Amino acid sequence: MKPKFIYLFLLSTIFSVLSSCSTVKPPEPCGPLPTKAQLAWHETQYYAFLHFSMNTFTNKEWGYGDTPADKFNPTDLDVNQWVKVCKDAGMKGIIITAKHHCGFCLWPSKYTKYSIKNSPWKNGKGDILAELSKACKCEGLKFGVYLSPWDRNNADYGTPEYITYFRNQMTELLTNYGEIFEVWLDGANGGDGYYGGANEKRNIDRTTYYDWSTTCELIKKLQPNAIIFSDAGPGCRWCGNERGIGGETNWSILKVKGMYPGCPGGDRLSNGQIDGTKWVPAEVDVSIRPGWFYHKSEDHQVKNLSQLIDIYYQSIGRNDNLILNIPIDCRGRIHETDAHNVIAMRKVIDKTFVNNLAEGKKAKSSSVRGHSNTYKANNVTDSDNSTYWCTDDGVRTGSVTITLGKIPVSFNRFMVREYIALGQRIKSFKIEALSDGNWKEIIKQTTVGNKRILRFPTVKATKVRFTVLDSKACPLISTIGIYNAPVLLLAPDISRNINNEVNLSTYDKEAEIYYTTDESKPTKESNLYKGSFKINEKTLVKAVSYSSSSDEYSECSEKKIDISHTQWKVLNIKDQEKAKAVFDGDEKTTYSTKAKSIVINLGALYTLQGFKYLPDQSRNNNGIINKYCFYISNNNRQWKKISSGEFSNIQNNPVWQTKLFKPATGRYIKFEALSTLNDDTQNIIADFDVITK
Ligand code: FUL
């Protein structure tokens, strides 16, 4: 080494030793801070909601409170199955509806008769809360309770006596079932109900009736570490919707003054407030099915893998905790489809985040607080969440550059965490990548908070730069993660629209789609899908998604496309545009009519051997035809009855109904509703098709 270099080397060594010894003042807290319990709650991140109550047996979402207790009768209840599914799904806890609005209690409360002690289950000797809390403890899952403030069964609801009752029940729950990590206070309360037989409407003043501060003190006294959920916290807040979507801008702080459970929310619930006065982070609650409770008719509407993955990024990826509801069915078990899908989701998430490409990599920053080692940039890649990179007070912007390697590395996910123990600070940031010698912006966003995860098309780069553009105070970054999620290969969706255009789509934009129209199995040697194509005649379309990077295929999807609909006309409907909903190939558009039948001119003579009917797919279950007659005619005058009967089980399973019959030839068809569920006066058709020979 030349003397000049030796001199410089010594100087820098002395400097770094001195700086690591010198005590640089830690950053001051910024704004409201999380409590220890809230910090633990943030780490819990993902847990299950289990909705189970009298509603499960009455097929309702909100019970009126009048169903006799003996109607609660699970045939094969197994809390160990619930716990196993939740654990296998990667969830860290379970919150159960101990009592929903109907007032029925899943534990033998000594303050009411309306509980499992008067049900046939275990001859009234059972206690679901006891079984579940024990099973959770054994498997290392946290346990929480939902106790509905509204009680449509209780005769005292609306009077001060009910508040005593509510607190007595809360005391039972928080005393007898071990450690409780979250108490869920629903904002829906007040309205009509059974109320001990009064059958009337009881409105309460949500701002005063419950005297929440006293109840919260009671909860804190009995379970000091429990987080209290409500629209207003104090532990965590509702995210403002039940669709599984957290705000892109999401402050964990809120101006809580004047707020209460059930208060009008607005954007402050999803976004929080930059000038919030209390730490009240958001929780995203969403059900895996359209409803919160189990309904057999929704067995085909369990959210699929792509929907669940989107929910993950829109909640956990946006500084929210995720509470995903899985209803318990009438057997007392989690339904197989729900179990399969949540576990599949976990596998995808695990695969995505298994390899942090930034871990242990060298990080350099624009500046370091007091030039101190304690706050150096490498803290963001050291896989230790308690260390962080930080700038000097008053320096509210800055960047960290991570060197991924000499050879460009592919990635498509970026994760960043603030050291929130000292407050949430970052107002906006951007991510850039160095590829081919140029810095390119990948994404610009607003808040970070406990955790922010961003998805983007795969980038190849040697370096990644994270820049804080604006912050309330000096930024504190504890972790940066960079990942390369494998292409998610899901079987493509195949649809044919009214113009005979076939559209193929798959979830992951980086997958290619290959298809065939000759009944052979598609491979990468088949047709590459580049956009919609026309099919005018009866064809079987098969399609797969393919990843060139892993040389893997999805499962194959197929759709039997029958004759073209372009010449079809619904004859007994004036508004042809509206009528198109009957055969437009779109399951979301519906045609509803008071007429008992629809007549369609197929435009040419065909030999038919069946038809298909799809009822309304919305949650209302309205206008579902359950008995039908099907006719064919050559001239729209003389009709031949070809098939009649019922769509068995359509109420529980409102999927495509297919009826086959002996081949018959005709140009006109008539689909007649002989009866409609619940004697609805409307018949609703989401889609209709014929099966030709
Ligand atoms: C809502 C309730 O009314 C629903 O029934 C469900 O329990 C959901 C989690 O909260 O406000």
Across the range 601-622, mean pLDDT stands at 92
* Span between the terminal Cα atoms of the chain, in Å: 88
For residues 520 and 678, which has the higher predicted lDDT (pLDDT)? 520
Q: For position 108, what pLDDT does the model report? A: 98
Q: Examine the pLDDT at 611 and tell me if it is beyond 90.
A: yes
Q: For position 6, what pLDDT does the model report? A: 55
The 8-class DSSP code of residue 3 comes to H
* Predicted confidence (pLDDT) per residue in 278-319, tens digit: 999 999 999 999 999 999 989 999 999 999 999 999 999 999
Give the pLDDT band (50/70/90) at residue 21: very low
Closest to 413 measured CA to CA, from 454, 369, 372: 454
What is 483-537 written as a DSSP string? Answer: E-PPP---PPEEEE-TTSEEEEE-S-TTSEEEEESSSSPP-TTSEEP-S-EE--S
Closest to 150 measured CA to CA, from 269, 235, 65, 59: 65
**Which of 242, 289, 294 to mutate for ligand 1's pocket (most ligand atoms within 8 Å of CB)?**
242
| Portions of the chain given CATH number 2.60.120.260 | 363-483, 569-692
Contact 613, 628 (CB under 8 A): yes
**Which of 53, 186, 285, 288 to mutate for ligand 1's pocket (most ligand atoms within 8 Å of CB)?**
186
**Which of 146, 292, 326 to mutate for ligand 1's pocket (most ligand atoms within 8 Å of CB)?**
292
Across the range 324-343, mean pLDDT stands at 98
* Predicted confidence (pLDDT) per residue in 340-353, tens digit: 999 999 999 999 99
Across the range 521-528, mean pLDDT stands at 98
**188 within ligand 1 shell (Cβ under 6 A):** yes
* Predicted confidence (pLDDT) per residue in 559-575, tens digit: 999 999 999 999 988 88
| Portions of the chain given CATH number 3.20.20.80 | 44-352
- Percentage of the chain lying above the pLDDT 90 cut: 91
Q: For position 489, what pLDDT does the model report? A: 97
Domain at 363-483, CATH homologous superfamily: Galactose-binding domain-like (2.60.120.260)
User: Cα dist. 434→360, 465, 502 in Å?
Assistant: 19, 8, 40
The whole-chain average pLDDT of the chain stands at: 95
Give the pLDDT band (50/70/90) at residue 619: confident
Topology annotation, domain 569-692: Jelly Rolls (2.60.120)
Is 493-561 a domain of CATH 2.60.40?
Answer: yes
Work out whether strand 46-50 and strand 93-99 pair parallel, antiparallel, or are unpaired: parallel
Q: For position 220, what pLDDT does the model report? A: 98
**293 within ligand 1 shell (Cβ under 6 A):** no
Q: For position 574, what pLDDT does the model report? A: 83
For residues 250 and 5, which has the higher predicted lDDT (pLDDT)? 250
Atom of ligand 1 nearest to the CA of 61: 5
Q: For position 5, what pLDDT does the model report? A: 52
Work out whether strand 253-254 and strand 321-325 pair parallel, antiparallel, or are unpaired: unpaired
Nearest CA to ligand 1 atom 11: 188
Atom of ligand 1 nearest to the CA of 287: 9
**186 within ligand 1 shell (Cβ under 6 A):** yes
* Predicted confidence (pLDDT) per residue in 132-144, tens digit: 999 999 999 999 9
| Portions of the chain given CATH number 2.60.40 | 493-561
Q: Examine the pLDDT at 538 and tell me if it is beyond 50.
A: yes
CA distance 586 to 495: 8
Q: For position 16, what pLDDT does the model report? A: 52
Q: For position 18, what pLDDT does the model report? A: 46
Q: For position 22, what pLDDT does the model report? A: 54
pTM over 0.85: yes
* Predicted confidence (pLDDT) per residue in 431-444, tens digit: 999 999 999 999 99
Topology annotation, domain 44-352: TIM Barrel (3.20.20)
Across the range 354-379, mean pLDDT stands at 98
* 392: its two tokens: 């000097």
Q: Examine the pLDDT at 151 and tell me if it is beyond 50.
A: yes
**292 within ligand 1 shell (Cβ under 6 A):** yes
* Predicted confidence (pLDDT) per residue in 479-519, tens digit: 999 999 999 999 999 999 999 999 999 999 999 999 999 99
Q: Work out whether the CA dihedral 220, 224, 225, 226 comes out positive or negative.
A: negative
* Predicted confidence (pLDDT) per residue in 97-131, tens digit: 999 999 999 999 999 999 999 999 999 999 999 99
CA distance 538 to 37: 62
* Predicted confidence (pLDDT) per residue in 37-64, tens digit: 999 999 999 999 999 999 999 999 999 9
